[in-house]
Amino acid sequence: MLHFIQQLGSSTRTSFAKLGRATLFLGHTLTGAVDVAIKPRLLLNQLHSVGVLTFLIVTISGLFVGMVLGLQGYNILSDFGSEEALGIMVAASLVRELGPVVTALLFAGRAGSALTAEIGLMKATEQLSGMEMMAVDPVNRIISPRFFAGFLSMPLLAALFSMVGILGGHLVGVGLLGVDDGSYWSQMQANLDFYDDIVNGVIKSIVFGFVTTWIALFEGYDSAPTAEGVSRATTRTVVNSAFAILGLDFILTAMMFGDI
C-alpha cells in the first residue's frame, strides 16, 4: 500500500516536472516567431512537409467518412420519413465534430509522429547539440517553424476534411440514394449557423493543431537520445495527442454548444 502511494507520488512529481518543461519549451518556441518572420522560407519548407503530406490522407478519409455518414444517415432518417434532413445531419456532424477531431487524430498519426521522430533523431544524432555549439538556437531554428506550420495547416486541413465529407455525403445521398439535391443543401444552409458552427469548428481545429504540434515537438525534444527513446516518444505522441484531442473536444463542445 505504501509502495503504491509512493509510486503515485513519484509519478505525479514527474508528470508535473514534464508539464513544466513542456511549458518552458512552448514559451521558447513562441519566441521563434521572430526567426520565422525573418526567414519565411523556413516556414514554407515545413508547411510542405506538415501540410502537403497530410493533405492526401485527410481528403481521402474525409471522402469516405462523408460517404459513410450519408449511407448511415439515410438509413436512420428514412425510418422517420425525413430523408431530406440528410444534408444537415452530414454537415453538422462533420463541421462540428468529425472535421476537427478526425483531422486532428489523423494529423497526430501522420504529421505528429513524423515530427517527433524527426526531432528525436536530430537529438540522437547530436544535430541539435551541434547547432547549439554553432551558436544557433535549435529551438528557434528547427522547432518554431514546424510549430507554426502545424498550427496553421490544421484549420485548413479540417476545413478540407469537412468539405470533402459533405461532398461525399452528397455523392451517396443524392447521387445513389435519391435524396433531393435542393433539400440536401437547403436544409444544411437553413440549420447551420456561421458563427455557432463554422467558426466554432475552426476554433476547435486551431486549438487541436496547437496542442498536437506542441505535444509532438516536445516529445521529440524531450526524448531519450537513443533509437529506443525515439520510438517510445513517437508512441507517446500519438497516445497523448489522442487523449488531449478527445478531452479538449469535450471541454470545447461543452463551452460552445452546451449550456454548462
Partner 1 sequence: MQHTRTQDTLVGLFVAAGIVALFFLSLQVSNIRSFMPADTYVITARFSNSGGLKVKSPVTVAGVRIGRVSNIYIDKETYESVVEMSIESKYDTLPEDTSATIYTAGLLGEQYINLDPGGSFDYLKNGGRIEITQSAIVLEEVIGRFLFQKAAE
Partner 2 sequence: MDNSDISADSLISVRNLSFSRGNRKIFDDISLDIARGKITAIMGPSGTGKTTLLKLIGGQLFPEQGSIVVDGLDVHQLRRKELFNLRKRIGMLFQSGALLTDINVYENVAFPLREHTHLTESMIRTLVLMKLQAVGLRGARNLMPNELSGGMARRVALARAIALDPMMILYDEPFTGQDPISMGALVHLIKSLNTTLGLTSIIVSHDVTETSAIADYIYVISDGKIAGQGTPKEIEASDSAWVQQFMKGDPDGPVHFHYPATNYIEDLLVCSQQTARIAAKKETIKTDESLNATGLKNAKGLKKTLSRKRGRSRYHRED
Q: Note the residues at the interface with partner 1 (CB under 8 A).
A: 44-45, 47-48, 51-52, 55, 80-82, 91, 95, 153, 155-157, 159-160, 162-164, 166, 185, 188-194, 197-198, 201-202
Q: What is the total count of residues that contact partner 2 (CB under 8 A)?
A: 14
Which cell numbers in the block locate residue 133? Answer: 555549439
Instruction: Considering the complex, state which of residue 23 and residue 189 has its C-beta at the smaller distance from partner 1.
Output: 189
- Report the partner that residue 153 touches, choosing among partner 1, partner 2, none (CB closer than 5 to 8 A by kind): partner 1
- Report the partner that residue 253 touches, choosing among partner 2, partner 1, none (CB closer than 5 to 8 A by kind): none
Tally of CB atoms within 10 A around 184 = 24
- Of the candidates 33, 68, 84, 132, which one interacts with partner 2 according to CB under 8 A? 132
The nearest distance, CB 126 to partner 2, in angstroms, is 4
Instruction: Considering the complex, state which of residue 46 and residue 240 has its C-beta at the smaller distance from partner 1.
Output: 46
Instruction: Considering the complex, state which of residue 70 and residue 201 has its C-beta at the smaller distance from partner 1.
Output: 201
The nearest distance, CB 114 to partner 1, in angstroms, is 16
Instruction: Considering the complex, state which of residue 35 and residue 197 has its C-beta at the smaller distance from partner 1.
Output: 197
Q: How far is CA 204 from the centre of its chain?
A: 9
> Is residue 31 at the binding interface for partner 2, with CB under 8 A as the rule?
no
Instruction: Considering the complex, state which of residue 2 and residue 133 has its C-beta at the smaller distance from partner 2.
Output: 133
Contacts of 17 (CB under 8 A, 6+ apart): none
> Is residue 133 at the binding interface for partner 2, with CB under 8 A as the rule?
yes
Nearest-CA neighbor of 144 among 38, 43, 22? 43
The nearest distance, CB 131 to partner 2, in angstroms, is 8
User: To which residue does cell 486549438 refer?
Assistant: 207
Instruction: Considering the complex, state which of residue 124 and residue 198 has its C-beta at the smaller distance from partner 2.
Output: 124
Phi-psi category of residue 193: left, alpha or beta, with phi > 0 → left and psi -120 to 50 → alpha? beta
Give residue 163's identity as a one-letter amino acid code. Answer: M
Instruction: Considering the complex, state which of residue 193 and residue 259 has its C-beta at the smaller distance from partner 1.
Output: 193
> Is residue 38 at the binding interface for partner 2, with CB under 8 A as the rule?
no
134-153 binders of partner 2 (CB under 8 A): 134-137
The whole-angstrom separation of Cα 16 and Cα 212 is: 19
118 touches 73 (CB < 8 A): no
What burial class does residue 164 get, using C-beta atoms within 10 Å of its C-beta: 0-12 exposed, 13-18 middle, 19+ buried?
A: buried
Residue 33: DSSP 8-state: H
The whole-angstrom separation of Cα 165 and Cα 185 is: 14
58 touches 129 (CB < 8 A): no
> Is residue 75 at the binding interface for partner 2, with CB under 8 A as the rule?
no
Q: SS3 for 25?
A: helix
Where on the chain is the footprint of partner 2 (CB under 8 A)?
121-122, 125-127, 129-137
